[in-house]
Amino acid sequence: MDDEEKLVNPKKTIEILQKYDFRFAKKFGQNFLIDPHVLEKIIRCADVTKEDCVLEIGPGIGTMTQFLAEAAREVVAVEIDSKLIPILEDTLSAYENVTVLNEDIMKVDMEEIVNDHNGGRPIKVVANLPYYITTPIIMGLLEKHVPVESITVMVQREVALRMQAEPGTKDYGALSLAVQYYCEPYLAANVPQNCFMPRPNVDSAVIHLKRFEKPPVQVEDEHLLFRLIRASFAQRRKTLVNAIANSPELSFTKEQVLAALAEQSFKPDLRGETLGLAEFAVLSDALGKIGRTEKSPDTQAD
């Protein structure tokens, strides 16, 4: 199918929308891509080949799905809006390697998809994500340890900058650390508002997240590490000691936090935004050790 006949042609998009009298649902954050150069860049960045099974989240009317179907062995497209299902059946009728699931990506059984469509081998995720739910979707894929080789997504540019931010910068935060624990992020392209229908109110970016085989740091308690990170950035202006000691997610006293900082030769007045992933990992292990020591019963004889 040439580009003139594809949905990336704005005339075809308008034709389909009018044919089905489709109305954009604000609650689903629907903005359809209408720029072939951006779509081609996404496919290249995701390194989609005929060997790949691709999971597309939120295919919309099937604009990117058409490009993915021509590049991949198989595409599984998960769409939450039931009103789009008959449209997808129409726009994707020429492609036999596409399966459309009318499901909520936050509730669908990802392991089942991977097993049924790719024999349990890691899949590639490609998506033009609804901006209001970008972070929960990405972190859900990563934290549940779904077999994913890479995630290539269109997101709000501000979010993309946060994902790849370094310590000490204004964009650096809990999301930066969480993403960088699981993946190597690469901002592949900035995408202006006129590449979408309807136009979003913010600029967008394509970011590629290459999943690590193993996290770049080793930590004894992954859950403690991420509770520690969230607490450290919940109130950025607070010192690390106060942020951790006052966190409802944690039960460490100021004295315990100060002891852990001293053990790692960290200054007592530092803030979380100055620490990298490696520093958070050693601090997490130190606090975990202190917590276990103080919970242990005193077995010394009187």
DSSP string for residues in 30-57: --EE--HHHHHHHHHHHT--TT-EEEEE
Q: List 197's β-bridge partners, or say none.
A: 32
Q: Give me 258's structure tokens.
A: 């100060």
The type of residue at 140 is: G
Tell me the pLDDT of the chain averaged across its residues. Answer: 91
Q: Where are the domains of the chain?
A: 10-211, 222-295
Q: For residue 255, how many other CB atoms are within 10 A of its CB?
A: 11
Distance CA 108, CA 70 (A): 25
Sole residue written with tokens 């349990």 = 120
Q: Give me 219's structure tokens.
A: 């930590």
User: DSSP assignment, residue 247?
Assistant: -
The type of residue at 124 is: K
Tell me: the pLDDT tens digits for 180-215? 999 999 999 999 999 988 888 889 999 999 999 999
Please calculate the CA angle 35-38-44 and round it to the nearest 5 degrees. 140
Please report the sign of the dihedral spanned by the C-alpha atoms of residue 130, residue 70, residue 198, residue 104.
Answer: negative
Query: Quick one: pLDDT band at residue 2, thresholds 50, 70, 90?
Result: low
Note the pTM of the prediction, 2 decimals.
0.89
Tell me: the pLDDT tens digits for 247-301? 999 999 999 999 999 999 999 999 999 999 999 999 999 999 987 776 555 434 3
Q: Give me 85's structure tokens.
A: 């299902």
Nearest to 184 by CA among 154, 159, 214, 140: 214
Tell me: the pLDDT tens digits for 129-153? 888 889 999 999 998 888 999 999 9
pLDDT score for 299: 38
pLDDT score for 8: 81
Torsion angles phi and psi, residue 152, rounded to 5 = -120, 115
Q: Say if residues 141 and 127 touch (Cβ distance below 8 Å).
A: no
Sole residue written with tokens 């975990």 = 288
Query: Quick one: pLDDT band at residue 64, thresholds 50, 70, 90?
Result: very high
* Domain covering 10-211 assigned CATH 3.40.50.150 in the classification: yes
Q: Say if residues 44 and 23 touch (Cβ distance below 8 Å).
A: no
Q: What percent of the chain has pLDDT over 90?
A: 76
Query: What does R_g of the chain's alpha carbons equal in angstroms?
Result: 23
Angle between helix 174-182 and 222-234 (nearest 10): 150
pLDDT score for 218: 95
What is the average per-residue pLDDT within 116-129?
Answer: 95
Query: Quick one: pLDDT band at residue 96, thresholds 50, 70, 90?
Result: very high
Tell me: the pLDDT tens digits for 106-117? 999 999 999 999
Q: Topology of domain 222-295, per CATH?
A: Helicase, Ruva Protein; domain 3 (1.10.8)
pLDDT score for 22: 85
